[in-house]
Amino acid sequence: MIATLLLASALSWQAPLAAPLLVERPFIPPAAAWAPGHRGVDLAAAPGTPVSSAGPGRVVYAGLLAGRYVVSIEHDIEAAGLGRGWRTTYEGVRPRVQRGDVVAAGTVIGVVDTRGAHCRCLHWGLRRGTSYADPLLLLRRPIVLKP
């Protein structure tokens, strides 16, 4: 899956928060689908901080979920041969978008609202179906050595 995500990084992905990014808690993959882990990264952010879509896509959820604000965006990266169904999730974000909205990379989708959240942060996730991946891989660019 890492190689697949590195290919995806060639698309125009960007961080959901303005630089510099401060990772409070990294991605920790679970040993099994049902096992504990940290299925995303926590990025330090004060309430009211604007949050942007990391890539182009369509909003599939925007609202309260279990007492927390969540935005989920489905990204169609079929053109890169990676298949459909990749989603980025943004927990702790009071939405400024609604289900069905089409967004570009960098579109402000809401602001940080830590009501009911586990930290003063943005929890940013990446998944396809029930498989989770480190969303920071979307920001890394392959290194090309010149001859």
As averages over each run of 10 residues, the pLDDT of the chain (147 residues) reads 43 87 90 80 95 95 94 76 78 97 96 82 91 87 50
pLDDT of residue 1: 44
Cis ω for the linkage preceding 56 (within 30 of 0) = no
Q: Is the dihedral of CA 25, 48, 141, 32 positive or negative?
A: positive
| pTM, two decimal places | 0.83
Name beta bridge partners: 89.
72, 125
Which domains occur in the chain, in start order?
A: 2-138 (2.70.70.10)
Type of residue at 67: G
Structure tokens at 97: 């978008």
Answer for the pair 84, 117: CB distance below 8 angstroms, yes or no.
Answer: no
Residue 78 is predicted with a pLDDT of: 54
